[in-house]
Amino acid sequence: MAGIKTVLITGGSSGIGYAVSEYFAKAGYRILWASWLEKELQEAKSRLSNSHKEAEIHTLAIDLSKEESCQKVLDWTHENGWSVNVLINNAGFGTYGFLQDTDMDKEIAMINLHILSTYKLTRLFLSEMIKRDEGTIINIASNSSFQPTPKLNTYASTKAFVNHFTRGLHEELKMSGSKVKAICVCPAAIRDTAFRKGEKLDKVKAFDGLATTTAGEVAKNIWNGFQEGKAFI
């Protein structure tokens, strides 16, 4: 299909990533998912294909916390001749507890995923978007990114990076006169995703509070904000 637009979503096979994929599929975008679990990718692809018969969906099973993974994602798009119009850095997970009690290797993997992967994929695809003077990068931060969050300390700190990095990039693009857009998304705790099933996160009261949201609500806000040209959601 000539002229089809393409969205690349990390962690697209579940949660916010899957929910927002439905909006892009309905709008006729080619869907690219880079996620960790092959089985989850195939199950999600089947589900989205059933609800959007015309959708073109491609998947790459990859651990984005690994150093070489972001370049592999870029290479995957090049090998298939896909030009990415929208990049959504969404993949993530959380840890919970006092810092000295958390699994250091798991937290380092989370830092690599939330910070380094978001940074690298943004840099890699931004270069191509700037050359075309077209494209949008949407980075998923969190409402926990605005203040220190005890027992979610490392998670919140990684999301603070995403928040500052994306909003700073938005200003840089405006200053340089580029038509490329950067959008920062800071959702509240999401009560209906697998994210909550992470290490002890099922015990976190924030997921049961009045200020919680759903993946579907966040996806709707992302789509509407994207359509309206917002910089912060």
3-state secondary structure of 213: strand
Which one has a higher pLDDT value, 124 or 1? 124
End-to-end Cα separation, the chain, in angstroms:
32
Query: Which residue in the list 18, 29, 96, 155 is annotated as catalytic?
Result: 155
Q: Which amino acid is at 27?
A: A
Question: Residue 124 in 3-state DSSP?
Answer: helix
**If pLDDT is split at 50, 70 and 90, which confidence band does 191 have?**
confident
pLDDT at 69 over 60: yes
> Would you call 96 a catalytic residue per the annotation?
no
> Across all residues in the chain, what is the average pLDDT?
93
Average pLDDT over residues 95-105: 97
Q: H-helix or E-strand containing 88? A: strand 86-89
Cα-to-chain-centroid distance, residue 201: 19
**pLDDT of residue 196 exceeding 70:** no
Strand, coil or helix: what is 17?
helix
135: which 2 tokens?
């494209």
Could you tell me if 32 and 15 are in contact, meaning their C-beta atoms sit under 8 angstroms apart? no
